Structure 1
Amino acid sequence: MIEIQLVDKTFQLFIPNSSILDKIEELAQQINKAYSGQQLEILVLLDGAKMFADAIMPRFEFNYNAHYQQVKSYQGMHSVGAIQFDRQLLNQFRGKNLLILEDIVDTGNTLKQLSEVLLAQNLEQLAIATLLYKPLQLKHPIPLNFIGFEIGPEFVVGFGMDYNECGRELKDIYHLKSQ
């Protein structure tokens, strides 16, 4: 098993890049079918979803405008309660179709707070696509329209996800090695 060391933790290979790219192709086909012939606004949640967005958006076969929003919800390996984001940026989506690209949904806290603000903008439609989903960790029910991989509660890094700002650039996804 391939292992890597990040800061003070050891991680093992969990999802290889080839499987990630296959899943992204599958998600892109689903999204293309759902939005064929439509104009879509896409909101990429940074920093984590950048690699996911960079891989999936070139596969889209419809017109879209991409927007990027910095969202902070983690410190180390723990999800914190309040998230930080720019509410002014979100005003531009009033009356539009919006797709959020997210790297991972675990507690649902980030998307709950963000979607409450967005739904107040009277969107035409709000949809969410996530590469990873942890249903056992979910504390806030969030409707997810496009899901890549359902995973357990393990802490993961790579393909945009980090541990203390390390490992985000890894092309594969790794999970924390059990001690």
Structure 2
Amino acid sequence: MTTTPTAPAFTNPSDRLALDGTWTALITPFRDGEIDIPALRTLVDHQIAGGVRGLVACGSTGETPTLSSPEYERVIATVIEGVAGRVPVIAGAGTNDTVTTLDRTRIAQRAGAAAALVVMPYYNRPTQEGLFQHVRYVAERCDLPLVLYNVPGRTGSDLLPATVARLAALDTVIGIKEASGDVDRASEIIRL
């Protein structure tokens, strides 16, 4: 496995990146059941040449729920190595297991990711308090900035605005990818 330098230390997690412009959620290309590393590198270069502001590796589009831990680490390392500091990388780290989410967040941090994208736990349908505690657990144990990911149509868990407000008070929570499809909800979150 290729190693990459760790991310530089920052005093304020939100100083690491601006969540603006166009970001591409990368696919994870496979060939014959294996990650196609050359294709992934080409994809990274193509997206950057196209002018994206940042990349998201191992999000839903990147098939993160189906990747083994070694595959996850390899994709994150390959993307960050390929980016070579040209744009920030957010690493999808969320799972339906809190400890695994923390482990993946730490992997992302060691690899040099600018932030971790934490999807709400899927399948088990935790309460709002459960969703809060899931993210809080990770936030208190790793100082990598976190971007919340609410996509209830895929997870069965819906992160409500009041819970977003509670989570926003945590130092490392710096943003949200709100994918409920509800424009009024997005407006409400912005007002928080």
With normalisation by structure 2, the TM-score equals 0.32
Q: Which has the higher contact order (CA 8 A, sep 6+)?
A: 1
More strand by share: 1
Bigger helix fraction: 2
